[in-house]
Chain A
Amino acid sequence: EAAVTQSPRNKVAVTGGKVTLSCNQTNNHNNMYWYRQDTGHGLRLIHYSYGAGSTEKGDIPDGYKASRPSQENFSLILELATPSQTSVYFCASGEQGTEVFFGKGTRLTVV
């Protein structure tokens, strides 16, 4: 069974602070993704990666950075967190033309 693990599952951060969301996959997939889900906006792509060392901007990258240090790990970094970044974040992995698998999500609250 494909596995995508996110940590932490819940996080409360202060405005202006740095937040790192981590994602690990054991599927040996080349592609990894970070989405956020908000009421009224659905799921939107923030950053993605085609392999270790690569990161690409998705549809809403402003205020976020990403890091892919290895095949298995993909991080989403909020250097200066803002309340507008309060959301549920999902990590996913996949290969082109095949099923995409999602993690359980991280609920981030920025106060």
Chain B
Amino acid sequence: GQQVQQSPTSLVLQEGENAELQCNFSTSLNSMQWFYQRPGGSLVSVFYNPSGTKQSGRLTSTTVIKERRSSLHISSSQITDSGTYLCAMELSGSFNKLTFGAGTRLAVCP
């Protein structure tokens, strides 16, 4: 079965609204990383967050290893936040190899 489950699959927001993206994993892991990707674009690392909470501007990531979940919170969304957000986990014993979720496609409308 799929080891990394992301939800929701897609999300539409009005500019200024908040968003909560979830990533759940079915096995133990070493670390979790969040990426942002524009259509046809490269993967930009948003957070490397193996555990706990990290914040960068309007973005906050929380990883709870025991509960096998990680979340990405976007506050006061902007049109430029539109794109796909991917979570990726480094499984225990996988030596830095990442297993990706399918992504959440976010559209922020004016």
Contact = CB atoms under 8 A, between A and B. Distances in A.
A80 interface: no
Interface string B71-95: 0000000000000001010100001
Nearest to A45: B97
A50 to B, nearest CB: 7
Contacts of A95: 96
Nearest to A2: B45
How big is the B interface, by class?
20 to 34
Contacts of B33: 99-100
A74 interface: no
Interface string B56-80: 0000000000000000000000000
How big is the A interface, by class?
20 to 34
A42 to B, nearest CB: 5
Interface of B: 30-31, 33, 35, 41-43, 45, 48, 50, 86, 88, 90, 95-98, 100-103
